[in-house]
């Protein structure tokens, strides 16, 4: 898979390589939530001019990793526990609605084709996996009959994309394996016409990520990360 959120990102340009390096720094907590991206220091770190760094920062803002503050520059986004919990609540509601839409309107052959795409998800790293998962989900939304529902789901998946990169970075093989298993069983349930099982998988998966992710973004957890730096 090659698509990425907001556009098909090129990986063979200098700014793209800097973008991916900064994502890795955020995922490894080298850059914590709220940290300011200093263009001069980053340019020196990467041995480049400020232009590619600025271009990478604009792309990272579009992806949701950083935010810009007028006159102050770019800052790593801060994820709050309550916001994360609520996001997965909304994600669960939306995905249940997606299940109903798929079962009512999506041809079985299209479901089978979508399930086969799971094998193409890159599982070599948190960054690659998160990006391919986003592409997989957006391709699945193309099968949705209700356009408004599809748009709301896309907005949620954009927010989840950022968190998944951070969370998958720890115990990456275990978490990726769990995510892939959830995709496999969910789409098989749809193929079998079993909406109740699809909803059960959706709810249990979202509950798992809530319980796994929220504690990692509490003030105490962020404090431990800073102490370890």
In this structure, the answer to whether residues 44 and 121 fall within a common structural domain is no
In this structure, the answer to whether residues 95 and 177 fall within a common structural domain is yes
User: What is the tally of structural domains in the chain?
Assistant: 2
In a domain, 100, yes or no: yes
In this structure, the answer to whether residues 68 and 103 fall within a common structural domain is no
In this structure, the answer to whether residues 115 and 207 fall within a common structural domain is yes
Query: Domain containing 197: what range?
Result: 81-218
In a domain, 139, yes or no: yes
In a domain, 181, yes or no: yes
Helix (H) or strand (E) holding 37: strand 36-37
Contact 149, 98 (CB under 8 A): yes
DSSP 217: G
In this structure, the answer to whether residues 95 and 194 fall within a common structural domain is yes
In a domain, 42, yes or no: yes
Work out the average pLDDT over 165-176: 73
In this structure, the answer to whether residues 21 and 112 fall within a common structural domain is no
What is the Cα–Cα distance from 24 to 31, expressed in whole angstroms? 9
Contact 134, 4 (CB under 8 A): yes
Distance, C-alpha 154 to centroid of its chain: 11
pLDDT, residue 10, reads 43
User: Residue 144 belongs to a domain with what CATH number?
Assistant: 1.20.120
Contact 78, 34 (CB under 8 A): yes
What are the pLDDT digits (tens) for 16-54? Answer: 889 888 887 887 778 888 899 989 999 999 999 999 999
Residue at a domain's end among 61, 76, 91: 76
What is the Cα–Cα distance from 187 to 70, expressed in whole angstroms? 44
pTM for this model (two decimals): 0.74
Q: Kindly tell me the sign of the dihedral angle through the C-alpha atoms of 143, 10, 24, 77.
A: negative
Residue at a domain's end among 76, 92, 119: 76
What is the Cα–Cα distance from 167 to 171, expressed in whole angstroms? 9
In this structure, the answer to whether residues 208 and 99 fall within a common structural domain is yes
What are the pLDDT digits (tens) for 54-102? Answer: 999 998 888 778 899 988 889 988 878 888 899 999 999 999 999 999 9
Work out the average pLDDT over 128-150: 94
In a domain, 2, yes or no: no
In this structure, the answer to whether residues 86 and 196 fall within a common structural domain is yes
In this structure, the answer to whether residues 64 and 89 fall within a common structural domain is no
Nearest to 134 by CA among 167, 107, 156, 101: 156
In this structure, the answer to whether residues 91 and 72 fall within a common structural domain is no
In this structure, the answer to whether residues 133 and 176 fall within a common structural domain is yes
In this structure, the answer to whether residues 114 and 153 fall within a common structural domain is yes
């Amino acid at each position: 898979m090659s698509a990425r959120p907001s556009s098909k990102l090129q990986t063979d340009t200098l700014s793209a390589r800097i973008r991916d390096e900064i994502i890795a720094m955020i995922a490894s907590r080298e850059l914590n939530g709220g940290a300011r991206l200093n263009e001069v220091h980053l340019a020196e770190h990467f041995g480049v001019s400020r232009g590619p760094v600025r271009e990478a920062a604009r792309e990272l803002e579009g992806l949701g990793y950083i935010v810009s503050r007028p006159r102050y520059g770019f800052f790593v986004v801060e994820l709050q526990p309550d916001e994360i919990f609520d996001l997965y609540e909304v994600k669960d509601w939306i995905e249940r609605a997606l299940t109903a839409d798929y079962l009512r309107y999506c041809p079985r052959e299209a479901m089978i084709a979508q399930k086969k795409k799971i094998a193409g998800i890159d599982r070599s790293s948190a960054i690659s996996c998160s990006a391919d998962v986003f592409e997989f989900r957006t391709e699945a939304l193309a099968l949705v009959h209700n356009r408004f529902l599809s748009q709301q789901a896309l907005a949620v998946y954009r927010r989840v994309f950022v968190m998944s990169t951070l969370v998958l970075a720890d115990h990456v093989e275990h978490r990726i394996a769990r995510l892939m298993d959830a995709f496999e069983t969910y789409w098989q349930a749809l193929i079998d016409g079993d909406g109740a099982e699809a909803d059960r998988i959706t709810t249990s998966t979202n509950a798992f990520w809530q319980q796994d992710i929220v504690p990692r973004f509490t003030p105490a957890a962020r404090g431990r990360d800073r102490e370890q730096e």
